[in-house]
Amino acid sequence: MASLIVSNIQKRPTRTIVSILAVSVGVVMILLFVGLAQGLLKDSAHRLQNVKADIVFQPPGSSLLLALNSATMPIKVGDRLLEVEGVRHVAPMVHQFSKKSFSLIFGIDPDAFNQVSGGGLVIMSGRVFQAPYECIVDDIYQKSHQTRLGDQLRILNHDFTITGIFKSGIAARMLVPLQTLQELNDSPGKVSMFYVKCDNPAAIERVYQHLSNQPPFKGYSVTKASDIYNVMASNLPGLQEFTTAIIIVSVLISFLVILLTMYTTITERTREIGILKSLGASKGYIVRLILQESILLTAIGIGIGIALSFVTERILHRLYPSLPIEIRPEWIGYVILIALVSGVLGSTYPAWRAARQDPVEALMYE
Amino acid sequence: MDHIVELKNLTKIFRIGKVDVPALRGVDLQVERGEFLAIMGPSGCGKSTMLHIMGGLLGPTSGDVILDRLNISECSDRERTEIRKQKIGFVFQRFNLFPALSAKDNIDLAKKIHGNGHPNSIRVEEILELLGLRQKMHHKPLELSGGEQQRVALARALINRPALILADEPTGNLDSSNSNSVLEKLRDINRQFRQTVVMITHNAEAAEYAHRIIHMRDGKILNGFNG
Cβ contacts (< 8 Å) between A276 and chain B: which residues? 113
pTM: 0.74
Please name which of B69, B125, B30, B85 lies closest in space to residue A283, comparing C-alpha atoms: B85
Mean pLDDT, range B26-33, rounded to an integer:
93
Q: Express each pLDDT in B58-89 by its tens digit.
A: 999 999 999 988 999 888 888 999 898 889 99
Check CB contact under 8 Å for B55 and A278: yes
Is cis: bond before B141, omega within 30 of 0? no
Distance CA A279, CA B100 (A): 17
| pLDDT for position A69 | 58
Please name which of A90, A85, A48, A87 lies closest in space to residue A65, comparing C-alpha atoms: A48
Mean pLDDT, range A132-149, rounded to an integer:
87
Cβ contacts (< 8 Å) between A281 and chain B: which residues? 81, 85, 113
State which H helix or E strand residue A314 sits in: helix A283-319
User: At residue B53, does pLDDT exceed 90?
Assistant: yes
ipTM higher than threshold 0.90? no
Please name which of A26, A37, A33, A38 lies closest in space to residue A304, comparing C-alpha atoms: A26
**Local structure of A237: helix, strand or coil:** coil
B82 CA: distance to closest CA in chain A (Å) = 6
User: At residue B227, does pLDDT exceed 50?
Assistant: no
A23 CA: distance to closest CA in chain B (Å) = 25
Cβ contacts (< 8 Å) between B92 and chain A: which residues? 278, 363
Mean pLDDT, range A248-254, rounded to an integer:
82
Mean pLDDT, range A224-243, rounded to an integer:
74
B226 — pLDDT class (breaks 50, 70, 90): very low
Q: Express each pLDDT in B138-154 by its tens digit.
A: 999 999 988 899 999 99
Mean pLDDT, range A274-287, rounded to an integer:
90
Q: Which domains does chain B have, with CATH numbers?
A: 33-58+76-226 (3.40.50.300)
A277 CA: distance to closest CA in chain B (Å) = 7
Average pLDDT, chain B: 88
Please name which of B107, B112, B96 lies closest in space to residue B138, comparing C-alpha atoms: B107
| pLDDT for position A246 | 81
Distance CA B102, CA A6 (A): 13
Distance CA A9, CA A288 (A): 15
The more confidently predicted of residues A84 and B6 is: B6
* Chain A residue nearest residue B86, CA to CA: A280
Phi, psi of A149 (to 5 degrees): -60, 135
Cβ–Cβ < 8 Å for B7, B54: yes
Tell me the range of A6-10, A362-366, B6-10 where mean pLDDT is highest.
Answer: B6-10
> Does B90 contact A at CB distance below 8 Å?
yes
Mean pLDDT, range A331-338, rounded to an integer:
90
Mean pLDDT, range A15-27, rounded to an integer:
87
> Does B57 contact A at CB distance below 8 Å?
yes
Mean pLDDT, range A182-197, rounded to an integer:
87
Nearest neighbour of B101 by CB, restricted to A3, A274, A279: A3
Mean pLDDT, range A93-122, rounded to an integer:
82
Least confidently predicted of A193-202, B119-128, B182-191: B119-128
The share of chain A scoring above pLDDT 70, in percent, equals 94
